[in-house]
């Protein structure tokens, strides 16, 4: 089975969207929808698809670490890229194929009202 990253992205305030990460750019998740999300996550776990997930704080509390060509390491406050969209959270799932991962992505997007980017992990065994 392959492993996939389901990235939850959040964008500018959208009154119909919810932000499971609580990053503050969209309204807090309604209790009913949060319950749907928890139920879906339990289904992911019971099916064996769920490997790990995380909800992130907002980009305003990010710290960027960057090595320069001269070997100096710099740290700066704030997001790596100034953007209206940012990574709000993620799931790592296991599925037979991309279609299986897309099933979980569609369900997640329908519940939270945000785009989900699906990417396979690099197969180091190939």
pLDDT digit string (tens) for the chain, length 126 residues? 999 999 998 876 544 444 444 444 445 678 888 899 999 999 999 999 999 999 988 888 889 899 988 889 999 887 777 777 888 899 999 999 999 999 999 999 999 989 999 999 998 776
Cα separation of the two ends of the chain? 13
pTM greater than 0.75 (yes/no)? yes
Helices within the chain (DSSP H only): 31-47, 98-112
Residue 38 DSSP SS3: helix
**Helix segments in 17-124, DSSP class H:** 31-47, 98-112
Q: Tell which residue, 108, 104, 124, 101, has the closest CA to residue 10.
A: 108
């Amino acid at each position: 089975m392959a492993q996939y990253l389901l990235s939850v992205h959040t964008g500018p305030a959208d009154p119909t969207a919810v932000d499971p990460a609580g990053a503050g750019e969209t309204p807090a998740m309604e209790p009913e929808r949060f319950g749907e999300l928890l139920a879906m996550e339990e289904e992911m776990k019971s099916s064996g698809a769920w490997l790990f997930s995380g909800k992130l704080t907002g980009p305003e509390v990010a710290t960027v670490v960057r090595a320069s060509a001269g070997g100096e390491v710099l740290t700066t406050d704030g997001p790596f890229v100034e953007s209206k969209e940012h990574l709000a959270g993620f799931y790592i799932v296991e599925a037979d194929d991309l279609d299986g991962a897309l099933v979980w992505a569609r369900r997640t997007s329908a519940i939270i009202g945000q785009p989900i980017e699906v990417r396979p992990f690099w197969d180091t065994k190939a």
